[in-house]
A and B are shown apart, each in its own frame.
Chain A
Amino acid sequence: MMDVAVNKEMKGRNKIHPQKFALYAALASIMMMFAAFTSALVVRRAAGNWLEFRLPDIFFYSTAVILLSSVTMQASYYYFKKGNAALYRTLLVITTVLGISFIYLQYQGWTAMYDIGLPLSGGPVSGSFIYLISGAHAAHVLGGIAVLVVALLHAYILPYKATPRRKLRFEMSLIYWHFVDFLWVYLLTFFVLQS
């Protein structure tokens, strides 16, 4: 029999904040979008008439940059919680700079592709896929940079205080940033395995 006692037990649920949960749901959705892109590539490749090529090296440098930015973001969060306002702010700035550098390097990667005869259109479709997928990813990183800019404004304008509200915000920005990082690593691995 279910009675009121059982209900009291449930008081402690909601372990995960609804907004954070909503973020995870949204990330699952974004993941599906990229799963669709990569499956499309696989299906198209299986149909034959497919040009193989080596990815320009720049894409590997950009990977290192975005991986590093994840580390600095995590560290910034660590110091935010620890109460070290100076390090928290500096690391956040570094993360943002790394994020912007990533976009710049991706852009260099696209020009490198163009230079080796793989334009977006009019060339082999295997090249178009790289532009499409890395472009869609870059759009998500730009979204992440926007989030970082907001976080920077908070960091520099508001007086330092680790309130639960700000902690939640930070965690959500952190999750998203790790996500775009992880997503890129997945995409790069996929590109490499496919060629």
Chain B
Amino acid sequence: MESTDKTIIAPAYEEDVLIEELGYDDHFHDHHHGDKYQSNFVTTYIFSQDHKMIAKQFLITGMFWALIGGLMSLVFRLQLGFPEESMAWLKPVLGKWISISEAGVGTLAPEFYYALVTMHGTIIVFFVLTAGLSGTFSNLLIPLQVGARDMASPFLNMLSYWFFFLAGVIMFLSLFLSTGPFSGGWTAYPPLSALPQASSGSGAGMTLWTISLVFFVVSVLLGGVNYITTVLNLRTKGMTMWRLPLTIWAFFVTAILGLLSFPVLFSGFLLLIFDRELGTSFYLNEIFVGGQALEYAGGSPVLYQHLFWFLGHPEVYIIILPAMGIVSEVLSVHARKPIFGYKAMVYSILAIGFLSFIVWAHHMFMSGVNPFISNFFVIFTLIIAVPSAVKVFNWISTLYGGNIRFNAASLFGIGFVSMFISGGLTGIFLGNSAIDIVMHDTYFVVAHFHIVMGVAAMFGMFAGIYHWYPKMFGRFMNDTLGRIHFWGTIIGAYAIFWPMHYLGMAGVPRRYYSFDSFETFRHFGTMNQFITIAAIIVFALQVLFVINFFYSIWYGKKQKTRNPWGATTLEWTTPIRPGHGNWEGKIPTVQRWAYDYGKDGKEFIPQILPPQEGESEEVH
């Protein structure tokens, strides 16, 4: 690897000169044995321990799941938008889940509708927006941006990916069960999740769902331990915490949230597994199924909700924080301006992280929680709006007066801010228990979290992919296609989710297979058709993205300079295609914070550049 690269970049890069001069030698290269991470095909592409390869594995697996999850949503959207149309043409794919009447009209089985909604939620939340987002970018950027050769434990890092992969395989298998995958919603509330006989997906489907998620929890924990340790212990010289790029701060706090909240989910699952397999009654009370009284007594389903949402709410921040970090970095680089309010950004990440642990019951205002206790959660929930608003203000101020390059990366960054504002505002509606009592379980909630989490986090991910694509593959994605992707997706996403607010305010409940028997909702038929059509278009645009992504790996425009965006951070000081170990010779040391853009008349000053004669003080 190294030798080929050396020949390409024969004229020394100024980065190399600087690193040679100021960097420090960690004896990475042993002259007798070469690179200490020697590798063959299997250890390079499959059981790789190189954080950059693991990042790509997370990304591509995440993309696979995004397509599956997206396709599922199209199927249930067809049902909602065009309930009268025949779905017979889907029979070859969905098999017995489409039943064909004598007249040849195909209908989607209601159980399968629920299974699709459940799988869509589970897949997107965990596999795409947690593993695909945090897994990809924490892996790619933490070592590169803090100046480390790799993660603290490359081996555990590799395990983290393979546990995720295994979780995926198990979930995928559950799609082919004759009783169908789990169908009780991504939150898996008991009794549907606790009683194998409760619904068709509650048996084997739920068993596989649980096993899959247990593996997933292991993956998150292994990754998280590694990310935290790397950020705290493996920073290069001069990289103080206050010089970390905001990406790293975001990944760091994300990992802490994961490490503290996923074990709680695991506990919740363990109680569930006991109820399912050993006959305990943690979550189950006197229950009749099919007119038969079961033996359970004394359990409380609300207990599960507490355990689930104690993870569930931090989880939504586990999803959004990495996107926030990525957007902060991308906006600053492409606006050619330092991020506005760096310290305020860090403190608000910390505040959000902390507050996210004490608001979980805002998902439970309707579960019979004492209304006085609800008040406590209302107040903390609304307080989260403060650090969130600080961040929004800072992003806008970063853009303000900037010399913005409008490329796919920065557009998705700006789109993120737009989506985060729209979805955050509806969060404040829902955070008031008095309003939530009416809005809970309606399409208003669906609109809220799809905009603020689904779309915004995806946008952060796209911004990151377009921006760091050259770092991953040494080539660029096609920017024109990228901009088409952006404009189509942002318009389309608003077209899908904006109307859902009105559906919700009119009381249309979420998770209904059909609204045939509700006279009041009849006139929403066209609105639902409109949403479905928009969803199909948006999905088509994502296919365009995927094509652009894979095409560019081999045929994209080649990256010719090391630092194509003119960014300050360390990842752009490595060779264009860095080998395992990231830097060929010494490790660079850090001389300044990550946001010296437009300082003292210079467009940007890399972090490795020492302070110059007469340079003004570092400002944050």
Chain A residues close to B by CB (< 8 Å): 1-4, 6-8, 10-11, 14, 16, 18-19, 21-22, 25-26, 28-30, 32-37, 39-40, 43-44, 47, 49, 120-122, 124-125, 128-129, 132, 136
Contact = CB atoms under 8 A, between A and B. Distances in A.
Count chain B CB atoms within 10 A of each CB in A6, A8, A10, A125 and give the residue with the most.
Answer: A125
B274 A32 contact: no
B264 A33 contact: yes
B278 A32 contact: no
Interface of B: 22, 152-153, 156, 221, 224-226, 228-230, 232-234, 237-238, 240, 259-264, 266-268, 270-271, 274, 278-282, 295, 298-300, 302-303, 306-307, 310, 589-592, 610-611, 615, 617-618
A2 B263 contact: no
Contacts of B229: 18, 21-22, 25
A33 to B, nearest CB: 4
A47 B278 CA distance: 23
Contacts of A47: 300, 302-303
Contacts of B238: 2, 6-7, 10
Contacts of B615: 1
B267 A37 contact: yes
Nearest to B268: A36
Given A3-B611, A10-B237, A10-B238, A25 B263 contact: no
B591 A18 contact: no
A40 to B, nearest CB: 6
A121 B221 contact: no
9 contacts: A7-B589, A21-B152, A21-B233, A22-B152, A33-B263, A40-B271, A43-B306, A47-B302, A125-B282
Contacts of B152: 18-19, 21-22
A128 B261 contact: no
A36 B610 contact: no
B225 A25 contact: yes
Contact of B611 (A2, A21, A132): A2
The 4 tightest CB contacts between A and B, nearest first, are: A121-B279, A36-B267, A33-B263, A36-B264
B476 to A, nearest CB: 34
Nearest to B267: A36
Nearest to B226: A22
B237 A11 contact: yes
Nearest to A3: B611
Contacts of B234: 18
A171 to B, nearest CB: 16
A121 B260 CA distance: 29
Contact of A132 (B274, B590, B617, B618): B274
A32 B263 contact: yes
Contact of A40 (B240, B281, B307): B307
B617 to A, nearest CB: 6
Contacts of B230: 18
A122 B225 contact: no
Contacts of B281: 121, 125, 128
A120 B280 contact: yes
Given A1-B618, A29-B262, A132-B271, 18 more contacts: A6-B238, A7-B590, A10-B238, A18-B230, A25-B225, A25-B228, A25-B259, A29-B260, A29-B263, A32-B259, A32-B260, A32-B261, A37-B267, A43-B306, A44-B282, A121-B281, A132-B274, A132-B282
Contact of B298 (A11, A39, A124): A124
**Which of A6, A26, A34 lies at the interface centre, i.e. has the most chain B CB atoms within 10 A of its CB?**
A26
Nearest to B234: A18
Nearest to B615: A1
A79 B295 CA distance: 56
Contacts of B266: 33, 36
A10 to B, nearest CB: 6
A6 B238 CA distance: 8
A24 B514 CA distance: 51
B232 to A, nearest CB: 6
